[in-house]
A and B are shown apart, each in its own frame.
Chain A
Amino acid sequence: MQLTPDNQIFWQYGFVKINATMIFTWLLMAILAIGARLITFRLSTGLRRSRWQNVLEIIVLTVEKQIAEIGVVEPRRFVGFLGTLFLFVALASLGTVVPGYRPPTGSLSTTAALALCVFVAAPAYGIRKNGLLGYLRTYMEPSVLMLPFNIIGEISRTLALAVRLFGNMMSGEMIIAILLTITPYIFPIVMTLFGLLTGMVQAYIFSVLATVYIAAATSNRNSRHQPAAQQ
């Protein structure tokens, strides 16, 4: 039993390697991209549309609505980034019902990569919105004494994002693996279903937290700390 799919390496040349994390990531990417392409190949702009188009429209509009409810001013600009975060994490969790599948979010490298993306994206959107000085000035609010704490908070919340998602996904995998060895099959099935719920919740939490961070970065300077909700 390997703790992370990173250790399941299919090909390696020096430090360049192809492991299970990357393989399953590409698989999820292919499913998402091809599925989206197939569904959106013939989109209807009229009142009659296909069921799959309806499903995609519901997903996209729900994501946009959630982003707007959290406080982002122009939610449509962030639908691509935040919606992809949610879909990727959610689909990675849904895939656990397939035997032999290992979610890429069960890899700390993946969650760290996603957290780093959020860590970079939030300041990037903030700088685009308020300018570099305007964004940096937010770290010295309400007073300059808060600068180190704000920096530490920025780093720690990124670390928390990565570790929270990794811990939940990895623990679920581990529990199922352990139960497989000591209990009949009915218990792993139940735990798998429970893992689905946990995975969806984690996808929602990850996306909402990323949205909150971006909303805080793109909001006015005086209200930067207000929407910083934590789990």
Chain B
Amino acid sequence: MLIDWFTVTAQIVNFLVLVWLLRRFLYRPILDAIDAREQRVAAAMTEAEANKKEAQRERDVFHQRNEEFIRQRAALLREAIQEVKIERENLYTAARKEAEDFRTRQQEAMIDDCNTLKDEILRRTREEVFAIARKALADLAGVNLEQSMVDTFLGRCRSLDAEERSELQAVLQSPVGPVCIRSTFPLADSQRQAIEREVAENFNYAGQFCYECAPDLISGIAVSMDGHQVAWNITEYLLALEQGITDLLLGQPSADGREAAIPATGYGTVMTAPPSFRGAGRDG
């Protein structure tokens, strides 16, 4: 007999026990592990998807901020460039103004120096000229310089042309005060009388005279009347010399060499200039 029913029963029991054992120790743990893994993978996938969306969102935000930053940077750069241009222009203007001021100050200082030097030269020249002239006249011709000045002044009064003479006469006809005679040196009484006589004769004047010693007149004599003046002195010489010195200092030669640009007209000025000087001017 191939079938043993006890063995059949025993094998049925054995198989059922085996089913229970494998279900207990094999299928359930394995399937549970697989389910847990699938859940973890699903959770990881969900999390990864969420992270991906979050990363995408953050990337968009980053791009947006980056573009905004670029725009702001460009705007700031443009603004900075504009400010730099303005500041550079201001600094350039300030520097130019400062340089201009400095140059002006330098020119003024140089002009002051020139004036100071010129005054000094004039003062020294005047003193030397007087000294030389006085000594030369005394030594060579036995002539007093002051007397020669008076004589020369009187001679020039007599040699005025008719137009000048008539004009001065018109002025002296209605004097508002005494005719003031100004000189560098004190005039002697004889010299005063000679001058009064000459003025009275040439200009028909019978009024009073006053005398005044004026150091600024620079070696000469001047007759002042109602704003008009007839004078002779060496001021014109000195002015020509001053102009020459000024041109020399400034490096600007005069138009005709050393000739000074002194006005050549004036009815009250009389002076015979030396060969190198020609002076005529109107004072007052």
Contact = CB atoms under 8 A, between A and B. Distances in A.
Interface in A22-78: 22, 25-26, 28-29, 32-33, 36-37, 40, 43-47, 49, 53, 56-57, 60-61, 76
A44 B8 contact: no
Task: State the main secondary structure of chain B at its contact with A.
Answer: helix
Given A80-B19, A108-B2, A114-B15, 9 more contacts: A21-B7, A22-B10, A29-B18, A29-B21, A40-B26, A45-B37, A84-B19, A88-B15, A109-B7
A84 B24 CA distance: 12
Q: How large is the interface on A (under 10, 10 to 19, 20 to 34, 35 or more residues)?
A: 35 or more
Interface of A: 3-4, 6, 15-17, 19, 21-22, 25-26, 28-29, 32-33, 36-37, 40, 43-47, 49, 53, 56-57, 60-61, 76, 79-81, 83-84, 87-88, 104, 107-110, 112-114, 116-117, 166
Given A6-B4, A109-B4, A112-B3, A40 B25 contact: yes
B21 A113 contact: no
B12 A37 contact: no
B30 A43 contact: yes
- Among B8, B19, B41, the one with the most A-chain Cβ atoms within 10 Å of its Cβ is B8
B25 A113 contact: no
Contacts of A21: 7, 11
Contact of B33 (A19, A53, A166): A53
B23 interface: yes
A33 B20 CA distance: 10
A114 B21 contact: no
Nearest to A64: B31
Contact of A25 (B14, B34, B36): B14
B30 A113 contact: no
A22 B14 contact: yes
B29 interface: yes
Contacts of B10: 22
Given A44-B33, A61-B34, A113-B15, A87 B22 contact: yes
Contacts of A4: 2
Contacts of B7: 6, 17, 19, 21-22, 107, 109-110, 113
A88 B17 CA distance: 12
Contact of B26 (A28, A46, A56, A108): A56
A104 B15 CA distance: 12
Interface residues of B, number: 33
11 contacts: A19-B7, A22-B14, A32-B18, A40-B26, A61-B34, A76-B31, A83-B27, A107-B7, A112-B8, A113-B9, A117-B12
- Among B4, B17, B18, B40, the one with the most A-chain Cβ atoms within 10 Å of its Cβ is B4
B45 interface: no
B31 A60 contact: yes
Contacts of A87: 22
- Among B17, B27, B32, B34, the one with the most A-chain Cβ atoms within 10 Å of its Cβ is B27
A108 B4 CA distance: 8
- Among A36, A53, A56, the one with the most B-chain Cβ atoms within 10 Å of its Cβ is A36
Contact of A117 (B16, B25, B30): B16
Nearest to B30: A60
Nearest to A82: B19
B14 A47 contact: no
Contacts of A17: 4, 6-7
B6 A16 contact: yes
B25 A108 contact: no
- Among A3, A40, A108, the one with the most B-chain Cβ atoms within 10 Å of its Cβ is A40
A33 B22 contact: yes
